[in-house]
Structure 1
Amino acid sequence: MKLCFNEATTLENSNLEKDLEICEANGYDYIEIRSVDKLPEYLKTHTLDDLADYFASHHIKPLALNALIYFNNRDKEGHDAIIQEFREMMAICGKIGAKYVVAVPLMAPDKILRKDIKASSIAVLEELSDIAKPHGVKIAVEFIGHPECTINTFEDAYDIVQSVNRDNVGLVFDSFHFHAMGSNIENLKNADGSKIFLFHIDDTEDFQIGILTDDDRVWPGYGAINLGAHISTLQTLGYSGAVSVELFRPEYYKLTPEETIRKAKETTISVVSKYFNR
């Protein structure tokens, strides 16, 4: 299995240029680029051609743009903005060679009926699928394990993706989000493995289901998640994509980016190597 670095892991102590340099030195195969902050920061002093040239001349490659945020249940203005942003992402993917865009569902403090969430999500994902198809880019929907997220369980996300039924629309399987709202491992075991595009590995402190937040994440293997069950199930389903380490731990941001990136690799490989060869 190829190793990927998600830039959230150094959100507050590094930038894209440093992340690339350190990940390359540590043998990472891929990077998930934070399109919401680190990429715009990079483009203040560099160009997309600079970034494309870097990937062309180094081992590390771009896996995904992370992320198209709050894609569903928007008003017309919000929807139009999402579509425009996604079109711009297609141009970026084409330039640098990224194959996926992560799509994050709406966080909604006000209640929305599940049927309305599903209907909106399907309609938008079908529209995005049509836009992405000629670019050869796939959309990976990431359910968020938080009560206010409109798609917060594996079961709901999988149902939506199955209903869309497009080859270029699938899921991000994130161990933290799967655990955080109590998604069922048996439902994962019965899933179509071809619909899982990306695997985010992380762990968490042992707080109650339903109140976990990103700050609770810890190094893979240092927390309460049964990562072995997740990884072995993905293996059985035929998953052969990258494993991308994604943490948001405030205390880890106090480390140097070199320390963070090195530790992220060590802990991820320690867990994953029991099931997959590097």
Structure 2
Amino acid sequence: MFPFKPALNTSTLIPFALGVKEQIHTAAKAGYQGIELWVKDIETYLGEGGSLQELKRYISDTGIEVVNAIAFWAWADRDADTRTQGLQQARREMEMLAAIGCQAAAAPPYGNVEGIPLVQMAEAYANLAGIARDQGVEPFLEFWGRAKQLNCVSDALYVAQASGVKDTKILLDPFHMYTGGSELSSLTGISGEQIGIVHVNDYPSNPPRELIGDQDRVFPGDGVMPSFDFASQLHDSGYNGFLSLELFREDYEGRSAIETAEYGLIKMRKAYSISWTGSQR
């Protein structure tokens, strides 16, 4: 049983240099229910003469849902002026996302966050969330395993609670859990309602944890990630939302864009299926 909804993060399609409409077409044709678009790709589309209204119609015609966007806002940077600029950027880009029907965007610890107390990051997140929700966009709090701060599940849970932002949702990613040292046990007690979206991928045992990079991510089931246990824990939490395939490969062994997307969906469904007799809510 696959109790989740499949989505495609368009980072997976980077080797094919597709325009945003081609990305959407590929994901929909491959059978995904959702897609995560990168803001920079939307801006490229607009710079080439496209319009938000046209893009929204195209998305509607394909029947796919834009479930999240990937953006980079320095909302928690050490420098006050940089934070201000980051929030201004967030406001502009969220307005754009809302115009195409995207209701969420990732909020990772982008910028210089070294040494910033988590309580200060919580205040910064509250400022970002206020702007986002005014635009009708949900900021999914994301931790990065390599970040100097906000790099693990426990950090994200603390920031979410300390921010005072009601119903804050966290973006989970097994690669960032691995590189930041978060064990599956750190998810104990998290309810499905606290999870905004889950990025799915896998990682090999080599390179070692301290050297592994985004480019080393592999398809679900092709590495050492305990995907079945992760899937069971998500299901037990009550989460039945989107799992989004996020890879950063330079090539896919000769596969075309559509073949890569279709193969990724097969791998995701297999790695994240759970048995009827297994862990259930």
Q: TM-score normalised to the size of structure 2?
A: 0.89
8 Å CA contact 2:202–2:218 kept in 1: the answer is yes
Q: Partner residue of 1:154? A: 153
Aligned pairs, how many? 270
Whole-Å separation in 2 of the counterparts to 1:43 and 1:53 = 14
Moved more, 187-196 or 200-209: 187-196
Q: Give the 5 Å matches for 1:230-241.
A: 230-241=230-241
The change in CA–CA distance for 1:168 and 1:16 in structure 2 (over 3 A counts) is: farther
8 Å CA contact 1:12–1:253 kept in 2: the answer is no
Percent of residue pairs bearing the same amino acid type? 24
Q: Partner residue of 2:66? A: 62
Instruction: Name the SS of the counterpart of 1:141 in structure 2.
Output: strand
8 Å CA contact 1:100–1:137 kept in 2: the answer is yes
Whole-Å separation in 1 of the counterparts to 2:255 and 2:144 = 26
Whole-Å separation in 2 of the counterparts to 1:254 and 1:39 = 27
Instruction: Name the SS of the counterpart of 1:97 in structure 2.
Output: coil
Instruction: Name the SS of the counterpart of 2:169 in structure 1.
Output: strand
Q: Partner residue of 2:279? A: none
Unaligned runs of 5+ in 1: none
8 Å CA contact 1:201–1:244 kept in 2: the answer is yes
Q: Partner residue of 2:9? A: 6
Moved more, 213-222 or 250-259: 250-259
Q: Partner residue of 1:39? A: 42
Q: Partner residue of 1:261? A: 261
The change in CA–CA distance for 1:183 and 1:18 in structure 2 (over 3 A counts) is: same
Whole-Å separation in 1 of the counterparts to 2:192 and 2:210 = 26
Whole-Å separation in 2 of the counterparts to 1:139 and 1:254 = 36
Describe the superposition over 1:60-105 as per-residue Cα deviations: whole angstroms up to 9, x where unpaired.
1111111234431241321122111111122123211111110110
Q: Partner residue of 2:169? A: 170
Instruction: Name the SS of the counterpart of 2:15 in structure 1.
Output: coil
Q: Partner residue of 1:71? A: 75
Q: TM-score normalised to the size of structure 1?
A: 0.90
The change in CA–CA distance for 1:248 and 1:149 in structure 2 (over 3 A counts) is: farther
Q: Partner residue of 2:86? A: 82
The offset of 1:107, in angstroms, is 5.2
Moved more, 255-264 or 68-77: 68-77
The offset of 1:164, in angstroms, is 1.5
Which runs of 4 or more aligned residues in structure 1 lie more than 6 Å from their structure 2 counterparts after TM superposition? none
RMSD, matched Cα:
2.0
The offset of 1:56, in angstroms, is 2.1
8 Å CA contact 1:193–1:234 kept in 2: the answer is yes
Whole-Å separation in 2 of the counterparts to 1:32 and 1:254 = 24
Instruction: Name the SS of the counterpart of 1:221 in structure 2.
Output: coil
Q: Which amino acid aligns with 2:219?
A: W
